[in-house]
Amino acid sequence: SSEVLEAIENVIQGVLQSLAQKKAPVLTVANRADWRNIEFKDSVGLQMIPRCTTKLIRSDCPQSARRFALMLKILSMIYKMVQSNTYATKRDIYYSDTLLFGSQSVVDQIINDISCMLKIPRRSLHVLSTTKGFVAGNLSYTEEDGTKVNCTCSATAVTVPSNVQGIKNLSSHAKFILIVEKDATFQRLLDDDFFSKVSPCIMITGRGIPDLNTRLLVRKLWDSFQIPIFTLMDADPHGVEIMCIYKYGSVSMSFEAHHLTVPSVKWLGLLPSDLERLNICKDALIPFTKQDENKLASIKKRPYIACQPLWKKELEIMAASKLKAEIQVLTTVSADYLSRVYLPNKLQFGGWL
115, 256 Cβ separation under 8 angstroms: yes
Q: Which one of 79, 95, 304, 342 is the catalytic residue?
A: 95
SS3 287: strand
248 carries an active-site annotation = no
Identity at 118, one-letter amino acid code: L
Can you state the angle between helices 212-225 and 237-248, rounded to 10 degrees?
60
Helix ranges restricted to H, the chain: 2-20, 65-84, 90-96, 98-101, 104-118, 183-191, 194-197, 212-225, 237-248, 257-260, 272-277, 290-300, 309-321, 337, 343-349
Burial 181-213 (b: 16+ CB within 10 A, else e): bbbebbbbbbeeebbeebebbbbbbbbeebbbb
β-partners of residue 30 are 54
β-partners of residue 38 are 48
Let me know the angle formed at the C-alpha of 178 by 168 and 335, rounded to the nearest 5 degrees: 140
The residues carrying an active-site annotation are 95
